[in-house]
Amino acid sequence: MRGFEPGTAFLAAVLLAGCGGGSGPAVVPDAPGAGAPPPDPPGHCELAVFTPPDQSPYRMPYGIGTAHTMFQGNCPPDPTWGHFGMFAYDFWMPLGTPLYAARDGTVIWANAQYRDGDHTPGHENNLLIQHADGTVIRYGHLTFDGIVVAVGDLVRQGDLVAHSGDTGNSGGPHLHVDLLADSMSVAKTNTLPLTFRNAGGRLAESGELLLNETYTALPD
C-alpha cells in the first residue's frame, strides 16, 4: 500500500466507496477505530450548487469517444443505496477499462492490492488525485494492480492513471467517482457536487448527470 504516511493515515480504512450496485446499506467508516460515522446532517444534498458544465474544470474519467451508463448518481432518495447523502457517480464498465485524469493534480493515494470480485467492504482499490484548489477526486473499485501512477506523481488532465475494476463493496464491474472538498476526510458530507464539461448525453437542469443515462466522453 502506498501513501500510508502519518498525514494520510486517516485514509487507510475510510476509502469505501459504498456502492454495492444500488443495494445494501452505506458503509463509510470515518477513520480507523472511529466506529460508526455520524449521520449526515440534513441539507448536505439539498444545498448542492453544480458548476455549469461549460465552466467545469473536469473531464469525463474515461476515454474520449467511449460511452458508459451512469447507474447510481448523487444523493439518491433511498437510504439503502450506497450514495445516500453523498455526491458521487457510478458507471458500469468492463473490468480493465482505461481511466484518465479528470483534471491536473497530484496523486495523494493509490492502493491496488485487492482482488476483484470478493465483494468485501474495505477491499476497495482507490486512487485519489488532489487539484490545485485542494479538492480531491476519487476513483473507486479499481482492478487489482490497476493503477499506473504513484503517490507524489503530477498528472495532467487526460493522462492514463488507472483501470477500472470490481473491488470491495461492489455489485459488479464499475467505476465510482466522487469529488472531495479536501484531503482531510472521505466522509459523505465532504463530497461536492461534480459536473463534467464533455459529457455527451442528456443532463439535468442543474448540469449533473442523470440516472441510467449513457454518456459519451466528447473531445474538447
Q: Which residues bind Zn ion (CB under 5 A)?
A: 17, 19, 88, 90, 176
Nearer to Zn ion, 50 or 87 (CB): 87
Residue 193 CB partners (closer than 8 Å, separation 6+): 48, 49, 50, 51, 74, 87, 179, 206, 208
Helices (H) and strands (E) counted in the chain, each on its own, are 0, 12
CB of 73 to Zn ion, least distance (A): 9
Nearer to Zn ion, 3 or 140 (CB): 140
CB of 178 to Zn ion, least distance (A): 7
Nearer to Zn ion, 131 or 174 (CB): 174
The residue written with cell numbers 485524469 in the block is 101
CB of 169 to Zn ion, least distance (A): 9
Nearer to Zn ion, 7 or 146 (CB): 146
Nearer to Zn ion, 17 or 28 (CB): 17
The rounded distance, in Å, linking the Cα atoms of 68 and 216 is 7
Grid coordinates of 96: 480493465
SS3 11: helix
CB of 17 to Zn ion, least distance (A): 5
CB of 95 to Zn ion, least distance (A): 16
Report whether 36 contacts 60 (CB < 8 A).
no
Residue 175 CB partners (closer than 8 Å, separation 6+): 61, 62, 68, 90, 91, 93, 97, 99, 139, 140, 141, 164
